[in-house]
Structures are given as C-alpha cells and as structure tokens.
Amino acid sequence: MVQIILVLILAYLLGSIPSGLIVGKTFYKIDIREHGSGNLGGTNTFRTLGVKAGLAVTLADILKGTLAAALPLIFHLDMNPLLAGVFAILGHTYPIFAGFRGGKAVATSGGVLLLAAPLMFLTVLAVFFISLYITKYVSLSSMIAGVTAVLYAVISGVASNWNIPLLIVVVLMATFVIYRHRANIKRIMNKTEPKIKWL
C-alpha cells in the first residue's frame, strides 16, 4: 500500500512539471501565464511563443502522462496504470510547482491513453487533427477528441469485451476536459474564440 501511495504522489509530481513555464522562461524569457489565455498548456504556448515551443510543450505534456501511467509497470506493482495517469492529469491541471495553475489536461490525458490504449490514442489523435483542420479551433477539437475517446470505449466494449476501468477514466477525462473548456465554449458561441493560423 505504501508503494502505491508513493507512486501516486510521484505521478502527481510528474504531472505537475510545468512544461510551458519552463520552456517559456528558459528559452524565451517569458512567463506564458502573463500572456494569451494565461494557461500553461500547449495551446497557449503555440499562441504566445510559436509552433516550435508549442510542439515541445505539447510533446512534453503527453510524455508526462505516458511516463506516469507507466510507473506501476516500472515498479512492478499490482495496480492499474490508469490510476497513476489520473494523478498525473490532476498534477498537470493543478501543479504544485506552478501555484496550482496549470493546463487543461488534454495532452497529458492523451499521454495516459498512449500507454493504456494505444489504438484509442491514435484514433483520438486523428480525429483531433481532422477537426482542427476543419474548424481551426483547438478547444473545440480537444472536446471532440474527448467525446471520441468515450465513443471508442463504448463501441469497443459492445464489439468485444468491456474495459470498465478504461471506460470510467475516459468518461472522467472527457468530462473534465469539457469542464475546463467552459469559457472557450462561450467564446465559440460568441464567435470570439481565436482560431489557429498554422494549419
């Protein structure tokens, strides 16, 4: 039990690493929390610092989720990797290293899926980019990706065997992502949400 608690704490700390803050301050001398949406995630990094920085932060945030989910396997624990992944997502959203002001958990959630359900991850990633190409809204595409993950889990369950832990976590992820984007939803409805220009 002690080992499991330590792994969950480590997963949270991994998720708490503020990639956007580190990249912004180290390479650009900019605190991205003071620009754009004030968010520490990849979207605001793209908007504030450009494509290279945005890609670096997004990849780092994905890998945080993947590594955190892999911790139970690394330490040979009888524990569902999804549980560690959830703590990484909480760490990314409420990072102890950045005043508990983090990102919206999209990339880190994707990183968890990359380890736990690689085919789901690839499907969701494809849907995200198709939606992004059509709409130019990162926020809308992120929410559509979350809903796609839920549909994938349900369809997979009906077609073969239900993975109840995965379904529960995916539903929680999608709900959380949509909740974190509630301000974006209002801006999309008001047609004031910024569109990307690099795709």
pLDDT in tens, the chain (199 residues): 899 999 999 999 999 999 999 999 999 999 998 888 788 888 889 888 988 999 999 999 999 999 999 999 999 999 999 999 999 999 999 999 998 988 898 999 999 999 999 999 999 999 999 999 999 999 999 999 999 999 999 999 999 889 999 999 999 999 999 999 999 999 999 999 989 887 7
The residue to which tokens 């839920």 are assigned: 150
Q: Which residues contact 181 (CB under 8 A, 6 or more apart)?
A: 104, 139, 142, 143
Q: Is 103 left (phi over 0), alpha (psi -120 to 50) or beta?
A: beta
Q: What is the pLDDT of residue 36?
A: 80
Q: Which of 141, 60, 137, 139 is nearest to 104 (CA)?
A: 139
